[in-house]
Structure 1
């Protein structure tokens, strides 16, 4: 994707913070179990890149961590500050590739469904300079629609994509599931050693309203003209409404990568 298109899609999340907060499902509990295994707990210093409205941030501070959160979108950053106004969270607004981050020596750095919006080589180098030797980098993405467990009702979305977003159906292997590529990114520069890759499979229930909201957060949908976008979202809601009881079970997979900051001088 061209740089300009990438920036435009990345910026789209800031256009409607209210819907983003309401529509995005939470992450499975296993993610936070792994974070605890990597040092999340009372007194831990955690750097979060791309916190959005604080879906993960709230869990981090509830575990007793002190969090520095770097958020690109001013609208999302404002909502994050409001949501966690009385908690130990410092919100820095700006592009992680260039913005100043105070201090260093973080015990854990986390990127929840955000690293793909950055130049991986630049981001990993910056993270290496901010995470203490022996500390952890934990990166994960949720794929909305597990390719290994396709929900039968999703065939009803095909005509909508063919009409409004031709050529933009999901790739056979979504980016987060390309383990060799993601591993190479995290190990670039020799700063981190990959420790684990885990595919967490889970299920989410969609109502017409939930589906409309969720698809309304996707950048390719937000690129549509307003009338086209509303027609597309209305179609998604209709597909869900047509399921038994007006509820559809959707299958997701969260791809979780853990890497440890190397301690040897060669890194």
Structure 2
């Protein structure tokens, strides 16, 4: 009879411990004062269900910051990410949400600085050669000019919220390159666009490290879910055109939300 009692005790103890850990985790999240900064990838452009009060910023109720806030009920939540945002417009228009009481902030930014919307337009409408030129120009900007802008932005963010944990998320590859059939852009263009995402993410990751922010790479999470994968988490060219090449609602919930959680876990353990 001792063995069943031991098992019962162990099971009961495990249940109590699990409940304690769950309660502790919930309490910790409930104490967070969370600010979501950044561009369209953080605002949730492409996911639909936009908050009309956000106007042209197109903040979605299906964006990863809102999904995390819904699930964790932080003490406060300020969602100020905006479609089209650059490092400069984040600085001028979003950082007012950060205060000395902010405990957590997330951001995606840099793609618009490097002109990726224009690059995508060139690659969709023009030749391989024109696409490669546009991509190379964007990569040069990402490697040579963007680092300084990110350094300045991240330093300002830290000065406004000195006690906060900062999670910086990168950008996914747009195309799955192992697909035999991919209607639309040539393999040359698709490969070039993926290399541009790599250059951008490398710069963002390095800048985050210099600022002692936590960087979360979403490329592994989106792997096999890029365009032409057959299980796409990204919009192709679509109407409205602004949704094109942005995460779908599934890309936010299954791609960016886990990416944010991964970054937050790393930040808490760092």
- TM tier, shorter chain? 0.3 to 0.5
| TM-score, structure 2 normalization | 0.45
Q: Which structure has the highest helix share of the two? A: 2
Greater C-alpha Rg:
2
Q: Which structure has the highest strand share of the two? A: 1
